[in-house]
Amino acid sequence: MYTADIDPICKMHVDEKTQFKSIYKNKEYFFCSETCKKKFDELDKNVIRVRRSLKDKERISFGRLKREIIDPGICTLCGACVASCEVLSVINRKPALNGQCTACGVCYNQCPRTITTESSLIGSVQDVFSAKSAIPEVKGQNGGAVTSMLLYAFEEGLIDSAVVTVKSAEEPWRPMPIVAQTREDILRSAGSIYVHSLTMEALMTAIKRGSRSIGFVGPSCNIDAVHKMQNSPYGLLHMFMRVNILKIGLFCMDTFNYEGLKNFLEEKEIQLSTVLEMKIRKGKIIVRAESEHIFPLSDLDVYRNGSCTVCTDLTAEKSDLSFGGVGSKEGYTTVLARTGLGLELFHDAEDRGYIKIEPLGGKGLDNVLHEGKAKKVQMYMIKKRGALHIK
Ligand SMILES: Cc1cc2nc3c(=O)[nH]c(=O)nc-3n(C[C@H](O)[C@H](O)[C@H](O)COP(=O)(O)OP(=O)(O)OC[C@H]3O[C@@H](n4cnc5c(N)ncnc54)[C@H](O)[C@@H]3O)c2cc1C
Ligand code: SF4
Ligand code: SF4
Ligand code: SF4
């Protein structure tokens, strides 16, 4: 039977019956020629191991390193790529090819500026799901999983209040953070408002009122604030030591300035008071009023909050559970269970009939990772857009 392997030096397929072999850490390596075998025996074997582990994965060429790191001007000139490959050298103060690239991916994976692991894109995760509410009254932004989780935790007595955001009664679509202490309050908080919400103020109100187990919902910047207040020895730690907070994070790419969003829609002859729903999907904002209007998200770039242009955490990495739209089919919410507590409560909510769970397919997770990466590297884009002058 013909068996083939990859020569770790030249990456050619070689017959395992070849006479050119080497054993390294109990593993046998095969070569096309004496030259490759000699190079292998002399080279740092760790580099070879990376090359081998990459052989079945996506082919990554130097072009990608050039496109993502060198051309945007964020290469630190550390020399890791050049040191890892014979066909690379520094030319005109930039790493460049001096021979044929075989797309082994080593340089890309060595570079300190590339993001190459799942956890560096979306934080640590124990399990991933697609979920939707099993409660008919819940009308959520995606699958209503957030609202149903809160209902479960509240009705099972696990939390005594929830910090959520509702629409202001005075100004349509102005976010109003509240301390929900009834089923009705939790139900009316369903849906997303793409404007910063002052959730920490409501959290402090809940604590001062004596709540001791609180469900808290917010995007990463809000979750980070809770995390800091829980852990910082300065200031308010003593208050946070007395409460348990279930941190429910929302994926978040952008929020917009309220007045800007309002003016934008009014220019299109859409009054905020008539808007029933806003959704962001695939680079578009979908506004449902008497009829449906779709605009490219880039039209709203000027109203994007400055804080969001430097934010690199899409999935609220410090949460117990994170929820988002990307990755799941219409009518479902993507859920990342991060902590043991989050995972246990999520399964219990299913057992008690509050949510329905499906596994998140590989493509769904790929989409989450893709969007996570877009967010992580957006700092680099600042340079591209010329907003900062980094030399
Ligand atoms: C500002 C913002 C930006 C988002 N961007 C993305 C994105 O780029 N990609 C993506 O996949 N998902 C994004 N999401 C998450 C998505 O819109 C849904 O919130 C999530 O999928 C949960 O859906 P659901 O139906 O389970 O939630 P629901 O059951 O509808 O519950 C929604 C929860 O969101 C809370 N909420 C609404 N607006 C705010 C706000 N401004 N601040 C704090 N909490 C709020 C409500 O209190 C409610 O508890 C964003 C959400 C927000 C609020
Ligand atoms: S390490 Fe060398 S051969 Fe491999 S992708 Fe980079 S430039 Fe190409
Ligand atoms: S490894 Fe990355 S940062 Fe270092 S020189 Fe190469 S491209 Fe630049
Ligand atoms: S993009 Fe970041 S800073 Fe902006 S609202 Fe979302 S989590 Fe907060």
AA identity, residue 339: T
Q: Answer yes or no: is the C-beta of 147 below 6 A from any ligand 1 atom.
A: yes
pTM above 0.75, yes or no: yes
User: Distance between CA atoms of 239 and 257, rounded to whole angstroms?
Assistant: 31
Ligand 4 centre to CA of 305 (Å) is 8
Say whether both 18 and 101 belong to one domain: no
Looking from the CA of residue 307, the nearest atom of ligand 4 is 3
Ligand 1 touching residue 261 (CB < 6 A): no
Q: For a pocket test of ligand 2, which of 10, 11, 100, 106 has the largest count of ligand atoms closer than 8 A to its C-beta?
A: 106
Residue where a domain stops, chosen among 67, 82, 114:
114
Residues 244 and 227: their CA atoms lie apart, in Å, by: 12
Question: Could you identify the residue written with the tokens 């993502």?
Answer: 68
What are the E-state strand segments in the chain? 4-6, 13-15, 21-24, 27-30, 88-91, 94-97, 127-133, 161-167, 175-180, 213-219, 244-250, 277-281, 284-288, 292-296, 321-324, 333-337, 355-359
Q: Is the CB of 69 under 6 A from ligand 3?
A: yes
Count of domains observed in the chain: 3
Ligand 3 atom closest to 90 (CA): 5
What integer is the mean pLDDT of 146-160?
A: 97
What are the pLDDT digits (tens) for 262-314? 999 999 999 999 999 999 988 899 999 999 999 999 999 999 998 998 899 99
CA pair distance 180, 188, nearest whole angstrom: 10
Residue 284 lies in a domain: no
Nearest CA to ligand 4 atom 8: 221
pLDDT digits (tens, 9 = 90+) for 8-41: 777 788 888 899 998 876 778 889 999 888 878 7
Q: Are residues 66 and 95 in the same domain?
A: yes
> Which of 54-58, 108-112, 360-364 has maximum average pLDDT?
108-112
Instruction: Identify whether 143 is part of a domain.
Output: yes
Residue 277 belongs to some domain of the structure: no
Q: What is the mean pLDDT of the chain?
A: 89
The packing angle between helices 378-385 and 362-376, to 10°, is: 50
- Residue 93, token pair as written in the block: 């103060």
Question: Does the residue 119 lie in any domain?
Answer: no
What pLDDT was estimated at residue 320? 97
Question: Residue 3: what pLDDT?
Answer: 55
Q: What is the CATH number of the domain that holds 66?
A: 3.30.70.20
| pLDDT at residue 50, rounded to an integer | 46
Where does a domain end: 36, 57, 78?
Answer: 57
How is residue 68 annotated by DSSP? I
Domain assignment present for 360? yes
- Rounded to whole angstroms, the Cα distance separating 342 from 338 reads 6
pLDDT tens per residue, range 58-103? 688 999 999 989 998 889 999 999 999 999 999 999 999 999 999 9
Q: 381: pLDDT confidence band, cut at 50, 70 and 90?
A: low
Say whether both 106 and 130 belong to one domain. no
- Of 170, 135, 129, which Cα lies nearest the Cα of 154? 135
365 and 239 share one domain: yes
Residue in the block written with tokens 């999935």? 315
What is the atom index within ligand 2 of the atom nearest the CA of 61? 5
Q: Pick the most confident of 100-104, 235-239, 361-365.
A: 100-104
* Ligand 4 neighbourhood includes 377 CB (under 6 angstroms): no
388 lines ligand 3 (CB under 6 A): no
Sole residue written with tokens 């009023």: 289
Which ligand 2 atom is nearest residue 84's CA?
Answer: 1
Which of 57, 85, 100 marks a domain boundary? 57
- Give yes or no: residues 355 and 365 share one domain: yes
Does residue 27 sit in the same domain as residue 70?
A: no
pLDDT at 383 over 60: no
Q: What percent of the chain has a predicted confidence (pLDDT) above 70?
A: 91
pLDDT tens digits, one per residue of 126-147: 999 999 999 999 999 999 999 9
pLDDT at 384 over 80: no
State the residue for tokens 């103060």.
93
Q: Tell whether 313 and 234 lie within a shared domain.
A: yes
Stretch 342-366: mean pLDDT: 93
33 and 163, same domain (yes or no): no
Closest Cα to atom 6, ligand 3: which residue?
81
What's the gap in Å between 270 CA and the centre of ligand 1? 22
DSSP 331-378: T-EEEEE-SHHHHHHHHHHHHTTSEEEEEPPHHHHHHHHHHHHHHHTH
pLDDT of residue 55: 47
Give domain status of residue 288, yes or no: no
Query: What is the atom index within ligand 2 of the atom nearest the CA of 65?
Result: 6
Given a cut of 50, whether residue 233 has pLDDT beyond it is: yes
77 with 101, same domain? yes
Residue 219 in contact with ligand 1 by CB distance below 6 A = yes
pLDDT of 215 reads 98
Locate the ligand 2 atom nearest the alpha carbon of residue 88 and give its number: 7
DSSP states of 199-214 as a string?
HHHHHHHHHHTT--EE
**β-strands 161-167, 175-180 pairing:** antiparallel
| Ligand 4 centre distance from Cα of residue 282 (Å) | 18
pLDDT band at 322 (very low <50, low <70, confident <90, very high): very high
| C-beta of 253 in contact with ligand 1 (< 6 A) | yes
Provide the pLDDT confidence category of residue 188 given band limits of 50, 70 and 90.
very high
> Are 95 and 181 in the same domain?
no
Pair of tokens at residue 376 = 């992580």
Predicted pLDDT of residue 41:
79
Query: Binning pLDDT at 50, 70 and 90, where does residue 185 land?
Result: very high
Atom number, ligand 1, closest to the C-alpha of residue 279 = 17
Model confidence at 1: pLDDT above 50: no
Q: For residue 220, is pLDDT > 60?
A: yes
Residue 321's pLDDT is what? 98
**Burial class, 239, CB count within 10 angstroms (exposed 0-12 / middle 13-18 / buried 19+):** middle
Q: Is residue 275 part of a domain?
A: no
Averaged pLDDT for residues 347-352: 96
Structural domain includes residue 297 = no
Of all residues in the chain, the percent with pLDDT exceeding 90 is 69
**Which secondary-structure segment (H or E) carries 108?**
helix 106-110
Residues 100 and 130 in one domain: no
Element housing 184 (H / E):
helix 183-188
3-class state of residue 160 by DSSP: coil
Q: By residue range, what is the domain housing residue 36?
A: 1-57
68 CB less than 6 Å from ligand 3? no
Residue 323 confidence class, pLDDT cut points 50, 70, 90: very high
Residues 138 and 78 placed together within one structural domain of the fold: no
Give residue 194's identity as a one-letter amino acid code: Y
Residue 51, pLDDT score: 47
Q: What share of the chain is helix, strand, coil (3-state, %, to 5)?
A: 35, 25, 40
Rounded (10°) angle between helices 340-351 and 145-155: 90
pLDDT, residue 15, reads 87
